[in-house]
Amino acid sequence: MQSLWNDRDAATCRNDSLALRAYTSRLLGQEPSLVLHGGGNTSVKAQLPNLFGELEQVLLVKGSGWDLATITESGFAPVRLEVLQRMAELPRLRDTDMVKAQRAAMLDPGAPTPSVEAILHAIIPFAWVDHTHADAVVTVTNTADGERRVREIYGDRVLIVPYVMPGFILARAVYEMTRQTDWRALDGLILLNHGVFTFGEDARTSYELMIKLVGQAEDYLAANAKRPNSPAKPVALKPDTLAHLARLRKAVSTARGSAMVARLDQGGEALQFAALPAVADLASRGPLTPDHVIRTKPHGMVAGQDPAISVKEYGECYEQYFARHRTTGLSALDPAPRWAVLPGTGTVTFGASAADADIAADIVRHTRRAIQAAETLGGWKPLGEAELFEVEYWELEQAKLKKSGAPKPFQGKVAVVSGAASGIGKAVAEALHAAGAAVLGLDINPAIETQFTKAGLAGRACDVTDRAAVTGAIEKAVGLYGGLDLLVSNAGFFTPSADLEDLDEATWQQSLALNLSSHRYLLQAATPYLKLGVEPAVVIVGSKNVPAPGPGAGAYSVAKAGLTQLARVAALELAGDGIRVNVMHPHAVFDTGAWTPEVLAQRARSYGVSVEEYKAKNLLKAEVTSADVAALALAMLGAPFAKTTGAQVPIDGGNDRVI
């Protein structure tokens, strides 16, 4: 662990305590082994003017929900210091009342809610306080004789605090322990099974004490813990492994009561962990720190040959765990696991979105390393289930769940969209992602590989007329997100105009290949996974030319008509598996690559109208955009069409020939 302090960067804060507090917080936050996804908190004590211009002593403490890796000055809550210090003197206080009292003591009611550790920060008699959940320190304390090892590492330079519940209880415990303490004789606090506090009269001292203490723990582990064997090399995912993953995701989604994204970790460390003889025992002992239980549940699961049975047994164990520790007024959370070991394959995490599953994956990655290190130091011994239950069902966490709101309509669903680099396909892919789905967009344009930058929205270059490439793309989607629920088969092109007697063979075959056969390849490759999907649905993008063909468009119209017939047959064949297949027929969608300003202007002139009039040349006099088509696609994939299959719906502003 190395100090990242930079005098030049620190000088840009211009002696502004809050700016400097944000700077050193980000130094901590950019090191995942110190804080993971919102873990840890920091503070600085300062004087700020109130409404009347009077200076008041305040604690500027990290706000709840902010991440140290990205925090700015606006992420800190200004709380009157005296109020926080007096709260520590109370013999007892419910955490919900503590949160209310802290908010009432804020100088700025518009600031974020103060960290639950604000009282503890307040009673530490130094201006600067840093708190992390450092992997190395928590690993040492999660052993059978962790306290002895902590003393061996640090001697009397730290105060060792036995584990108690975060929030007021922890603050009160430290308050009682330190009534006679000479704080100047300490480098920090070590909270067993929880983390580290350091402090100082200046920002650099507090920050570098954290680096020093964590570095000492890392040195101890390097000297005393055996390293695991060299990581195994990942093996290629075969169709049967992908099907197993999809069945597991389906079982977890069913147990959760909603779709879940699954992230498979097949890296060397994951494979090595999954191969441990005692992996079932190790994965079931508990998380690295108690706050991780919100993301990972009390423990992981080892997936057997039948994932449904494994998830059912896990759920039964979870229900028994809840029954053992429940108190009046508590309702059980869902019993679905949040991470699992796939023997011979790696580990997999589950989340309501790709981002959530990735957070769980980061936590599991750090936990795996800690488990294996602790096992060589006498055994991995995290907190017991009673303490974990207390955090999982903490009144503050329950309050957050109640405020989380309704999920997005496609939350946790997995979708594949072809022709996604531009136009209709791009609009559909982005709309699905905005509605909560994890999406893989396919396109022959290689730019698709870097076009999307958001978590859960990825692109893959794919020639959909290449059957092997299509199969590989579908397998990529399943490997990326754990399964497949939604398919939008959109790729196509409008062939050059030619009467049938002049139509060349190359154009005919090219149209059949892309506008018809490629959709069959996609549907065939996707069907085995759609059968394992959550409320699976397919939308085929047809054309107005199906019900109303025009002269000179034979190659295009025939292929699209065949595509529509293909969709109708698929609707008949797949209905028994709960897979809906519907068709939409867009027309005159001008915000696509095919319609350049020059082409639009030329077509408008040929009709003797303006470009805007040409765009709205339909019965409703309404321009149809890619976003409009995407909205219809989402409706057909979702609840409005939940009991419809085999339908054909135009989206053309009203066409007299179609009607």
- The span from the CA of 42 to the CA of 72, in Å, is 12
Task: Tell me which residue of 249, 233, 266, 268 sits closest to 346, measured CA to CA.
Answer: 266
DSSP characters for 105-155? Answer: TBS-TTSPPBPTTHHHHHHSSSSEEEEE--HHHHHHHTBTTHHHHHHHHHT
Out of 163, 321, 481, 556, which one is annotated catalytic? 556
Q: Alpha-carbon distance 3 to 26, whole Å?
A: 12
| Annotation says 163 is catalytic | no
Q: Select from 571, 485, 59, 501 the least CA-distant residue to 254.
A: 485
- Beginning with the edge strand found earlier in the chain, give each strand of the sheet holding 55-62 in spatial order: 76-80, 55-62, 41-49, 128-132, 195-200, 188-191, 158-161
HSE-up of residue 466 (Cα within 13 Å, Cβ side): 10
Contact 279, 371 (CB under 8 A): no
Q: Which residues of 303-329 are buried (b: 16+ CB within 10 A; e: fewer)?
A: beeebeebbeebbebbeebbeebeeee
DSSP state of 502: G
Helix (H) or strand (E) holding 604: helix 597-607
Could you give the angle at the alpha carbon of 132 between the alpha carbons of 128 and 137, nearest 5°?
125
Record the tokens describing residue 515, joined without a space. 């506008």
357 and 351 in contact (C-beta within 8 Å)?
Answer: yes
* H helical segments located in 183-342: 203-224, 239-256, 268-274, 279-283, 293-296, 307-325
Task: State the Cα–Cα distance between residues 249 and 303, nearest whole angstrom.
Answer: 11
- The DSSP code for 161 is E
Count CB neighbours of 345 within 10 A.
20
What Å distances lie between residue 454 and 4, 355, 434, 436, CA to CA? 28, 9, 10, 12
Encoded tokens for 387? 């303490």
CA pair distance 158, 188, nearest whole angstrom: 5
User: Within 10 Å of residue 292's Cβ, how many Cβ atoms?
Assistant: 26
Active site residues: 556
